[in-house]
Amino acid sequence: MSITIKRSVDIEDEVRIALKDHLTAYCRPLPKDFSLPCILITQVGGTDQDGQIDTFEVTLDARADNAADANETLRNAIGVLRKAAGDQTTAIRFVEVNSSGSWGSDPARPDLSMYSARLRVVAHLETKSI
């Protein structure tokens, strides 16, 4: 017997899909041989509302050879996500920056620069038959 359910989208993959035509974007885990500059997308929390939408907390980590490129990559990623939300071309419906522009070196690769932002990303639930 099959039922139809509403469930959360894979927000990390939805963000990657929105970014993929414009930037190199990865979901966790970051591959061993990643390309620069790039964005790593990580869901770090979220809530649901009314059984229709989810509000996710997502961190974007931009890595590059230097701080200027990492900063630009992060700002471009946020711009692309805002555009996707406005155009409603993906499951993403709204994007809000909670904190942006924190910078430093990559803890795993101190030779790389990294800029990070935390976003609130709203997406409608998806329907699935199981």
pLDDT > 90? residue 108: no
As a whole number, mean pLDDT of residues 92-121 equals 89
Q: How far apart are CA 112 and CA 70, in angstroms?
A: 9
pLDDT > 80? residue 49: no
Strand, coil or helix: 30? coil
Instruction: Match 């990294």 to its residue by tokens.
Output: 114
Q: CB–CB of 60/117 below 8 Å?
A: yes
Upstream peptide bond of 29 is cis (omega within 30 degrees of 0) = yes
pTM, full prediction: 0.91
